[in-house]
Amino acid sequence: MYSSTRTPAPSLSPARRRRSRRLTAAAVVLSAALLTAGCGAADDSGGGAQAAASPARGFPVTVDNCGVRTTYDRPPSRVVTIHQHPAELLLSLGLADRMVGTAFPDSAVLPQWREEFESVPELAAKEPSFETVLDAEPDLVYGGYGSAFAEKEGRSREAFADAGIDTHLNREYCGEDRVTMEDTYDEIRTVGDIFGVPDRADELVTGLRERVDGTAAAVGGEPAVPVFVYDSGERSAFTAGGKGLGTEIIRLAGGRNVFADVDDVFGDVSWEQVVDRRPEVIVIYDYAGAGSVERKKEFLLSRPALADVPAVKNERFVVLPLTATLVGVRSAYAVEDLARGLHPESFR
């Protein structure tokens, strides 16, 4: 916020100050180029203002992301991530030095990334305000859920574009077809291209694919176990639908999502539906702000209507961090962890 009482000239917002700096820099470069051209000077080495304005090696890179087409002339150098899984993807690609802010951590970070993750400033416990993001002066904002760019909260992708800031949304929330592990691999490769590290992305994808394929092979001969995902909710159950990666993780782990017919990434279902579909295992999603895992187990075990559901009767629960069930680097780990819970005999 600013006050105009001390000077008749209105102050500029952070976004406008950045745009002003960019325009000034562009004017300086253009003036230098015109001056060089006017003097008839030539630079055989390819240096000077013209070279300074040239795209970086391997660029430009154009990405079509959830209906937004962006051309990157050089890798982003100041990135804000909103939600945890985009941050973890950048860390896994060795891009901690490009990160100037994170927001909305919802579960413990894997040990190999913890120190770097904690070194990046946390802008907000939930989604940050538009102005908070602008204050970090990013050149790219990478969002994990659609709410990262909520228009009603002033964080639309158009608003960031008007501020001269590029945006990228995790493809799971593009609202297209059912998400699979191939989308995870494609997301990693796309981010690798944006940041100019395609070799790192390919190496990461190879390792994750080997982990998933090995797990799927270990349980391939086992019958699919009916699985109900319990995210949250008491009057109704908020569960993983058929469009999200959760259903694919369950399938690869040797299970079957009993609510794969819900035509969304997540959705509400009734407890009567849960009873009718008789899941043998309940996967509990663990994340901050939705109650502890123990509280969720107690709730499920205390409901008389669920007493005869096989998963409740036999107390077969598997806990997965919500972050690990989304398009990102941890989904491969989730496949293995869930498979061990569904088919423990296959891993003895």
| pLDDT single digits (tens) 325-337 | 999 999 999 999 9
Contact 170, 187 (CB under 8 A): yes
Q: Given this chain, do its domains 61-169 and 205-347 carry the same CATH topology?
A: yes
Decide if domain 61-169 falls under CATH 3.90.230.10. Answer: no
Rounded-to-integer distance, Cα 40 and Cα 69, Å:
38
Lowest mean pLDDT among 50-59, 208-217, 261-270, 308-317: 50-59
pLDDT band at 106 (very low <50, low <70, confident <90, very high): confident
Rounded-to-integer distance, Cα 233 and Cα 300, Å:
10
**Residue 88 pLDDT:** 95
pLDDT (average), residues 14-25:
40
Residue 205 predicted with pLDDT over 90:
yes
**Cβ atoms within 10 Å of 345's Cβ, excluding its own:** 7
**Residue 34 pLDDT:** 33
**Which residue type does 119 have?**
S
**Which residue type does 2 have?**
Y
Distances (CA, A) of 145 to 47, 102, 121, 227, 284: 42, 14, 20, 24, 20
Question: Could you say which architecture CATH assigns to the domain 205-347?
Answer: 3-Layer(aba) Sandwich (3.40)
3-class SS shares of the chain: helix, strand, coil, % to 5: 45, 15, 35
State the DSSP string of 48-86.
Answer: HHHHHTSPPTT--EEEEETTEEEEESS--SSEEEESHHH
**Cβ atoms within 10 Å of 157's Cβ, excluding its own:** 22
Residue 185 predicted with pLDDT over 80:
yes
pLDDT (average), residues 160-186:
92
Residue 167 predicted with pLDDT over 80:
yes
Strands (E), the chain: 61-65, 68-72, 79-82, 99-103, 122-124, 140-143, 166-169, 225-230, 237-240, 255-257, 266-269, 281-286, 317-321
With a pLDDT cut of 70, the percent of the chain lying above it is 84
Rounded-to-integer distance, Cα 201 and Cα 193, Å:
8
**Residue 18 pLDDT:** 43
**Residue 237 pLDDT:** 97
Q: Which of 331, 336, 342, 63 minimizes the C-alpha distance to 180?
A: 331
**Residue 258 pLDDT:** 98
Residue 87 predicted with pLDDT over 50:
yes
Distances (CA, A) of 117 to 94, 98, 195, 200, 338: 11, 12, 18, 19, 25
* Domain ranges within the chain, ordered by starting residue: 61-169, 205-347
Rounded-to-integer distance, Cα 285 and Cα 104, Å:
16
Residue 256 predicted with pLDDT over 50:
yes
pLDDT (average), residues 97-103:
97
Rounded-to-integer distance, Cα 240 and Cα 261, Å:
10
Rounded-to-integer distance, Cα 315 and Cα 278, Å:
13
Q: Which of 322, 247, 332, 241 minimizes the C-alpha distance to 284?
A: 322
**Residue 11 pLDDT:** 37
Q: Which residue has the tokens 């904002």?
A: 141
Note the pLDDT tens digit of each residue in 32-54: 333 333 333 333 333 343 334 45
Helix axes 84-92, 111-119, angle to 10 degrees: 110
With a pLDDT cut of 90, the percent of the chain lying above it is 76
**Residue 47 pLDDT:** 39
pLDDT (average), residues 179-201:
96
Note the pLDDT tens digit of each residue in 283-310: 999 988 778 999 999 999 999 999 999 9
**Residue 305 pLDDT:** 96
**Residue 303 pLDDT:** 96
Rounded-to-integer distance, Cα 37 and Cα 127, Å:
48
pLDDT band at 314 (very low <50, low <70, confident <90, very high): very high
**Residue 14 pLDDT:** 40
Rounded-to-integer distance, Cα 43 and Cα 258, Å:
67
